[in-house]
Amino acid sequence: MVIELARAIFGSTKKKPERILLYLNRVSEGQFVQVHQVEVDAIRSASKKLQVTYAPKCHFCPKAARPQVVQVMRK
């Protein structure tokens, strides 16, 4: 999905996305680190398929029932 979206953005703007914003819905505190690592690995792998030197910054926005998840991200 990252490859298709990056190609679509490049097709319309002639620029590669510099940042990727990913919303994580209903991720618990215990799952956050695991989900974060899986998603980062997938985005990096997809980026390298587009171009070896392409490495956009990734920003994660978790939405959880507990505010403690936001505190984990700030540390």
What value does the CA radius of gyration of the chain take, rounded to a whole number of Å?
A: 14
Note the pLDDT of residue 1: 82
Note the pLDDT of residue 64: 59
CB atoms within 10 A of CB 27: 18
Low-confidence ranges of the chain (pLDDT < 70): 64-75
Note the pLDDT of residue 23: 83
Note the pLDDT of residue 41: 92
Specify the pTM: 0.70
Note the pLDDT of residue 65: 56
Report yes or no: 17 and 6 within 8 Å, Cβ to Cβ. yes
* Residue extents of the structural domains in the chain: 2-74
